[in-house]
Amino acid sequence: MGAGSDPSLMQTTATGDGETFTISGRKWLITGADGAAFMILMARTTVNGVDVGATMFMVDLPNPAIKLERLIDSIDSSFTGGHAVVEIDKLVVRRSDVLGEIGKGFQYAQVRLAPARLTHCMRWLGAAQRAHDIAVAHARVRPAFGKPIGEHQAVGFALADNEMDLHISRLVTLEAAWALDQGSRGNEESSRAKVIVSEALYRVADRCVQVLGGLGLTADTPVAQIFREIRAFRIYDGPSETHRWSLARRIIRRTKHKPEARDGNQ
Ligand SMILES: Cc1cc2nc3c(=O)[nH]c(=O)nc-3n(C[C@H](O)[C@H](O)[C@H](O)COP(=O)(O)OP(=O)(O)OC[C@H]3O[C@@H](n4cnc5c(N)ncnc54)[C@H](O)[C@@H]3O)c2cc1C
C-alpha cells in the first residue's frame, strides 16, 4: 500500500548527487499506467545524503526498470488503462528528467490538484445528471399500486432531493472554477467542492438505483456503473475526511485572533 492520505509516508526514493538519481519503490492504484507513454513519478529525494523533499520526475514508458506488477480489480471501470501496481527497481534518471525544481514536488502537486478535482466534479456531475434523467423517465411510467411510482411521495421526494443535490453540486463547482479564474489557487474552494460534490452525487446515484429497483442493479441501464464510479470519487484526490480536516485547520487558523468564547460572551 502506498502513502495514501499522508504523503509524508511516501516510500519511493530518489538518491543521487543532483545530476543523476536512482529511483526505487512501489506504487499502487496508479491510474492509466497500462499503455501510458510517460509517467510523472514522485519520489522522496536525497541529494548527497541530504533529504530535500519530494521531486517529480518525467519518465518515458515502457522502461525496463519499471514493471507493471498487476492491474487491480476495482469498483470503478471508466479510466483508460485501469489502476496498476507499479514496481520501480533502480531506475536511473538525470537532472534533465526533473519536472521543475528538485524538492518542489508537493508544491507542484498542490497547484495541480485544485483544477484536477474540478474536472472530476464536472465529469461525475454530468454522469449523475444522466442517472437522474433515467430515474425520472422510469418513475413517470413504471406503475405500482395503481399509479406511476413517481406519484408516490417517497419516490417523488427522492427525485426532488436529487435535483437539490445536483443544483448545489453545480453551484459549488462553478464557485471553485470562478475562484481559479480570479487567479486564486482555489485550494479551499476546491476542497469544499470536492467533499460536497462527491457526497451529494453519491446520494443522487444511490437514489437513482433505488428508484429503478432491480433494474438499477443491472447493466441494462448505465445507472449501476455510474453508482460505482461515483463511489470511488469519495476516495481519490483526497478522501472526504482529509479535506474536512484541512478545512477545519483553516477555520481554526482564520479565527485565532477572535475573542475566546466564554459564558455570557458568545
Ligand atoms: C480509483 C482510484 C484511483 C487512484 N489513482 C491514483 C493515481 O493515479 N496515483 C496515485 O498516486 N494514487 C492514486 N490513487 C490513490 C489515492 O490517492 C488514495 O487512495 C487516497 O489518497 C487515499 O489513500 P488510501 O487509499 O491509502 O487510504 P488511507 O490513507 O489508508 O485512508 C483510509 C481511511 O482513513 C481516513 N483518514 C486518513 N487520514 C485521515 C484524517 N487525518 N482524519 C480522518 N480520517 C482520515 C481516510 O479518509 C480513509 O477513509 C487512486 C485511488 C483510487 C481509489
- The structural domains of the chain, ordered by start, are 7-94 (2.40.110.10), 105-254 (1.20.140.10)
Residue that the C-alpha cell 507499479 belongs to: 86
pTM over 0.75: yes
How are beta strands 147-148 and 66-71 bridged, if at all?
unpaired
Residues contacting ligand 1 via CB (< 6 Å): 1, 4-5, 29-31, 74, 76, 83, 232, 235-236, 239, 241-242, 245
How are beta strands 83-94 and 66-71 bridged, if at all?
antiparallel
Report the nearest-CA residue for atom 31 of ligand 1.
5
Q: What are the backbone angles phi and psi of residue 181, rounded to the nearest 5°?
A: -60, -30
Distance of CA 229 to the CA centre of its chain: 11
Whose CA is closest to 117, among 222, 233, 200? 233
Task: Indicate the SS3 state at residue 104.
Answer: coil
Top mutation candidate among 29, 78, 228 for ligand 1, by most atoms within 8 Å of CB: 29
Cell of 114: 485544485
pLDDT tens-digit profile, the chain (266 residues): 778 899 889 999 999 999 999 999 999 999 999 999 999 999 999 999 999 999 999 999 999 999 999 999 999 999 999 999 999 999 999 999 999 999 999 999 988 889 999 999 999 999 999 999 999 999 999 999 999 999 999 999 999 999 999 999 999 999 999 999 999 999 999 999 999 999 999 999 999 999 999 999 999 999 999 999 999 999 999 999 999 999 999 999 998 888 776 665 55
